[in-house]
Amino acid sequence: MFECVDLDEMLELHKNTSHYVDRFPYAPFGQGPRQMVPPPQHREDEARYVQHLVDVYREHFPSSVSNLEDVPTVEEASEHLKRQREAFYAAESVRVFARDATHPAYFERVKKDVYDIVVEVAARSYLDGWERHGAVMAVAGTLQLTPTVLTPFVETNARKGVCHHLANEDRLTWCREGEK
């Protein structure tokens, strides 16, 4: 009815729970986030940040872009959107990893760190949203994060992608009335 459990086996099973990180916060993970690739069609949870980017393209390429369907016709905008979606999904993979392997609060900590720095850059005056977005992405890619169990997994592209998660929540916007 009862049997002994090998300690190594028990710890291996425990690694697959979110409680493991609470008990062993400095133990290395077996593997990090699974890399997510943007699907060909935008998902519903991308709508807000993509709309913010379309506003940037509309402002920067006024004669060529008026909506999302026009973006592929402008190579610079199309390539830019692909890179931004890759960044969003890099951050999304960290968010899903935090949810499943640790606690969602760790990803919220990452978002707070990114926001606290980039909001100051975003608040400055720029010629247009294209310039603001570029400045924010440059800073996001280089900022230091508060050390947590997620920090080793939040690479440059994921930090940039966190900005798009913030844009999804309307905490960051790229275009402002009266610029240009």
* pLDDT the model gives residue 132: 97
For residue 25, which amino acid is it? P
Average model confidence (pLDDT) for the chain? 89
Burial pattern 67-96, b for ≥16 Cβ within 10 A else e, equals ebebbeebeebeebbeebbbbbbbbbbbbb
Helix, strand or coil, per DSSP, at residue 101: helix
Q: What is the pLDDT of residue 16?
A: 64
pLDDT of residue 23: 65
- pLDDT value at residue 26: 55
Low-confidence ranges of the chain (pLDDT < 50): none
pLDDT for the residue numbered 22:
64
Question: What's the pTM?
Answer: 0.85
